[in-house]
């Protein structure tokens, strides 16, 4: 390599000049020249929708006192100002494996002991301001999707407790001809040799069952199979304490399943409720190795703790519970409080009923109450995230149809649907069926029952990323591909395209982090809404409606942030608007004509740099009811601006944009200060607005920006 050497005097002169003039300045490179082409002809039409019905937000359950803190007049006014009109009520009890007392007044099936199966009163004496979840003492799952403070009774080390499957899956309720198998699975934590198990049965016990080992390398191994232990198929079970030793060398496995095929149809002494006879009950389970001297070593850990016991999963859980099981840390806002808050904006609310951990009778009473109060309800969502509870889709389908029948008897005009999948990409696990699609299993079951028509809308949640560390620009671009793939997949899985498809919750991730409070949260929201509606979706509900604080839930590298329209003050009241707030307003107030008039979406193709970059910028074109064209443009490149030439075509004729309104939101208006638990906006200003006259042929998009351009159409 050649080195250039300067004389010392020249060096001194250059240094002196540098000190006087400062570093040399270079003009920023001009933005790449690209184009966006909009097809307003018949071939370009993608969807019609009404903003006041399609763009909403949701409120969820929370901890003790959260309902009163959230639904203040101040907070409700701040939330409503975002322009998201319809409201969905999320059911956290379903995630927490708890029964929902949607009203605190009601009746027990065993009133003398304040226990059994609960039905809230459809004509309560007092307003319902708060409702609660009730933990299920017959719980079988170690892990839940809410606070995760409960535990399985299968491995809690206590023979006085037991898990029991849901009696509503018995054929006397489902109307099906045969027995519906149930199961429980325990995790050994690592591949472990097993040649013996112990089962302490409750009442009712299983007469016929199989003890099985999973042969896959992991729970998603497509070559995995459930193999019944030699001698592990029991056909004349008698209950009580059972010790089974398997012939041969046993099997090495990480997962043990007990498949329950036929119950004893027996009830505990003194029982008068037929539901006590239905299903299966197990007090404790052990699995391990028995040596030649007959000594049994249990490989499982038994403790009344989700962190210390061996993890168990079950096919269903009996919703039986007691008054003493009320969970003060899982409350839901009462219906009267919600409707009085004004958050429904006078529109029908998407209302949930419990399915997985509740009863059809309680669901029917809820609808009777809402009708008696004259509260507007059009769509009812049955359950929430059954796939996230590892529930068999066919079991959910059976409970879904029972609940449908109960609700139809109250109001046959309601639109009933669900299942509010935890993810549209929902796959089964520990399943030897080569078709791992949870959704297809549900659709197939409903078809087999001749009742697919009872699914009147399809709902799912969309949180694209568990990991929100790393390159957020790449994730934003990846989300577009994921949404395209998702819609294609759900269609292939048999979800009817003739019914409404609804995203019941959406956001960056189910785990909090700074991405949710930085500019990418605005870009993600705009792209999800624009893309889903352009693909034919019927509605999308933003999660994170209420004010909140910066937290970190999952990965340290994700930093601190949260899904929220506003940063909360110390009293939990809305204080500082966040990027998704301004995004919501730009979408509902600027891009579209708000309210109940129809807007139409058309195809818009972007080449961001003139060299085929179709990923950095996305465009969504709306022909508004006022005759103007609304463009929503999302620049997902953190470093590059783009200059786009506008091309508008109507059939074979070319059009142009005339006088226009420009609204832009970028890091010039918003900056997040990353300071751990004290993270907060360092700058939060409204979007920049500008009125443009004359013909609009080009538009410049700043880096990491959201732009709305609304203009008159001319020729």
Q: How confident is the model at residue 164 (pLDDT cuts 50, 70, 90)?
A: very high
| Residue 5: CB atoms within 10 Å | 7
Q: Is the model's pLDDT at 84 over the cut of 70?
A: yes
SS3 354: coil
What is the model's pLDDT at position 685?
97
- Cα separation, 463 vs 31, in Å, equals 32
For 378, what's the count of Cα atoms within 13 Å in the CB-facing half-sphere? Answer: 11
- Cα separation, 557 vs 566, in Å, equals 23
Contacts of residue 577, Cβ cutoff 8 Å, sequence gap at least 6 = 565, 566, 684, 686
**Is 202 within 8 Å of 140 (Cβ atoms)?**
no
For residue 667, give both structure tokens.
């890091």
CATH class of 33-48+596-714: mainly beta
pLDDT per position as a tens digit, 246-265: 987 889 999 999 999 999 99
What is the model's pLDDT at position 76?
98
- Cα separation, 161 vs 241, in Å, equals 14
Q: Which candidate, 186, 91, 92, places its Cα nearest to that of 147?
A: 92
Average pLDDT over residues 304-333: 97
Average pLDDT over residues 197-212: 98
| Element at 474 (helix H, strand E) | helix 472-492
Average pLDDT over residues 56-82: 97
Q: Is the model's pLDDT at 478 over the cut of 70?
A: yes
H, E, C per residue of 552-579: CCCCHHHCCECCCCEEECCCCCEEEECH
Per domain, the residue ranges of the chain are 33-48+596-714, 163-318
pLDDT per position as a tens digit, 607-660: 999 999 999 999 999 999 999 999 999 999 999 999 999 999 988 889 889 999
Cα angle value 146/152/154 (rounded, 5°):
165
**Is 47 within 8 Å of 536 (Cβ atoms)?**
yes
Average pLDDT over residues 484-510: 97
Q: How confident is the model at residue 177 (pLDDT cuts 50, 70, 90)?
A: confident
Q: How confident is the model at residue 28 (pLDDT cuts 50, 70, 90)?
A: low
Q: How confident is the model at residue 464 (pLDDT cuts 50, 70, 90)?
A: very high
CATH class of 163-318: mainly beta
Give, in order, the Cα–Cα distances in Å from 231 to each of 250, 251, 389, 466.
10, 12, 31, 42
Give, in order, the Cα–Cα distances in Å from 481 to each of 464, 487, 527, 615.
11, 10, 11, 10
What is the model's pLDDT at position 3?
29
The average confidence (pLDDT) of the chain is 94
User: What ranges make up the beta strands (E) of 340-477?
Assistant: 349-353, 377-382, 415-421, 458-462
pLDDT per position as a tens digit, 393-424: 999 999 999 999 999 999 999 999 999 999 99
What is the model's pLDDT at position 27?
58
For residue 352, give both structure tokens.
């949930």
pLDDT per position as a tens digit, 270-284: 999 999 999 999 999
pLDDT per position as a tens digit, 556-614: 999 999 999 999 999 999 999 999 999 999 999 999 999 999 999 999 999 999 999 99
| Residue 454: CB atoms within 10 Å | 18
Task: Name the percent of the chain lying above pLDDT 70.
Answer: 96
Q: How confident is the model at residue 109 (pLDDT cuts 50, 70, 90)?
A: very high
Q: How confident is the model at residue 178 (pLDDT cuts 50, 70, 90)?
A: confident
For 215, what's the count of Cα atoms within 13 Å in the CB-facing half-sphere? Answer: 11
In sequence order, the β-bridge partners of residue 622 are 601, 630
Average pLDDT over residues 119-147: 97
Average pLDDT over residues 20-25: 41
**Is 96 within 8 Å of 125 (Cβ atoms)?**
no
**Is 91 within 8 Å of 506 (Cβ atoms)?**
no
For the chain, what is the total number of helices (H) and then of strands (E)?
13, 38
Q: Which candidate, 84, 98, 53, places its Cα nearest to that of 544?
A: 84
């Amino acid at each position: 390599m050649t080195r250039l050497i300067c004389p010392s005097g020249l060096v001194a002169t250059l240094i002196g000049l540098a000190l006087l003039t400062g570093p040399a300045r270079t003009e920023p490179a001009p933005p790449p020249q690209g184009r966006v082409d909009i097809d307003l002809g018949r071939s370009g039409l993608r969807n019609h929708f009404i903003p006041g019905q399609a763009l909403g937000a949701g409120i969820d359950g929370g901890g003790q006192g959260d309902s009163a803190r959230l639904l203040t007049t101040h907070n409700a006014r701040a939330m409503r100002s975002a322009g998201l009109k319809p409201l969905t009520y999320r059911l956290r009890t379903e995630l927490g494996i708890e029964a929902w007392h949607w009203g605190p007044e009601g009746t027990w099936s065993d009133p003398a002991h304040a226990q059994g199966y609960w039905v809230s009163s459809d004509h309560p004496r007092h307003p319902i301001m708060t409702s609660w979840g009730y933990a299920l003492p017959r719980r079988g799952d170690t892990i839940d999707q809410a606070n995760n403070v409960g535990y399985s009774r299968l491995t809690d080390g206590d023979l006085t407790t037991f898990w029991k499957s849901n009696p509503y899956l018995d054929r006397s309720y489902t109307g099906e001809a045969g027995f519906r198998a149930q199961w429980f699975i325990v995790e050994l934590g690592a591949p472990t040799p097993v040649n013996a198990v112990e089962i302490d049965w409750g009442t009712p016990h299983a007469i016929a069952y199989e003890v099985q080992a999973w042969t896959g390398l992991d729970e998603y191994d497509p070559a995995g199979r459930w193999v019944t232990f030699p001698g592990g198929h029991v056909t004349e079970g008698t209950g009580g304490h059972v010790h089974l030793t398997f012939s041969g060398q046993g099997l090495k496995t990480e997962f043990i399943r007990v498949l329950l095929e036929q119950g004893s149809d027996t009830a505990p002494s003194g029982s008068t409720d037929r539901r006590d006879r239905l299903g299966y009950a197990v007090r404790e389970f052990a699995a391990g190795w028995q040596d030649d001297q007959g000594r049994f070593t249990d490989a499982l850990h038994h403790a009344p703790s989700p962190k210390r016991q061996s993890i168990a999963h079950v096919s269903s859980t009996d919703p039986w519970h007691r008054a003493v099981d009320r969970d003060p840390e899982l409350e839901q806002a009462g219906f009267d409080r919600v409707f009085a808050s004004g958050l429904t904006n006078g529109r029908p609310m998407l209302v949930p009923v419990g399915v997985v951990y509740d009863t059809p009778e309680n669901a029917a009473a809820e609808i009777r109450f809402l009708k008696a109060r004259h509260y507007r309800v059009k769509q009812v969502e049955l359950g929430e995230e059954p796939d996230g509870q590892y529930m068999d889709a066919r079991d959910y389908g059976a409970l879904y149809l029972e609940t449908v029948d109960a609700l139809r008897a109250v109001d046959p005009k309601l639109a009933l649907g669900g299942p509010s999948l935890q993810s549209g990409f929902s796959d089964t696990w520990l399943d030897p069926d080569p078709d791992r699609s949870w959704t297809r299993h549900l659709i197939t079951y409903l078809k087999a029952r001749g009742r697919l028509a009872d699914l009147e809308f399809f709902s799912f949640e969309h949180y694209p990323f568990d990991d929100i560390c790393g390159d957020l620009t790449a994730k934003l671009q990846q989300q577009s591909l994921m949404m395209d793939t998702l819609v294609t997949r759900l269609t292939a899985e048999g979800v009817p395209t003739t019914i409404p498809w609804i995203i019941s919750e959406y956001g960056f991730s189910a785990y909090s982090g700074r991405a949710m409070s930085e500019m990418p949260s605005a870009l993600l929201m705009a792209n999800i809404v624009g893309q889903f509606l352009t693909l034919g979706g019927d509605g999308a509900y933003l999660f994170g409606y209420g004010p909140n604080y910066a937290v970190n839930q999952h990965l340290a590298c994700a930093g601190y942030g949260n899904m929220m329209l506003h940063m909360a003050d110390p009293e939990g009241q809305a204080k500082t608007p966040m990027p998704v707030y301004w995004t919501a307003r730009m979408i509902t107030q600027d891009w579209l004509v708000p309210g109940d008039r129809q807007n139409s979406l058309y195809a818009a193709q972007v080449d961001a740099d003139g060299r085929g970059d179709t990923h950095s910028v996305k465009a969504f074109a709306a022909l508004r009811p006022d005759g103007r064209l609304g463009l929503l443009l999302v620049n997902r490149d953190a470093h590059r601006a783009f200059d786009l030439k506008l091309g508008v075509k109507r059939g074979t004729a070319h059009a142009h944009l005339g006088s226009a309104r420009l609204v832009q939101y970028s890091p010039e208006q918003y900056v997040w200060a990353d300071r751990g638990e004290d993270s907060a906006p360092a700058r939060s200003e409204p979007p920049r607005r500008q009125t443009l006259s004359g013909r609009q042929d080009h538009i410049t998009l700043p880096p990491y920006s959201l732009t709305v351009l609304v203009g008159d159409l001319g020729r």
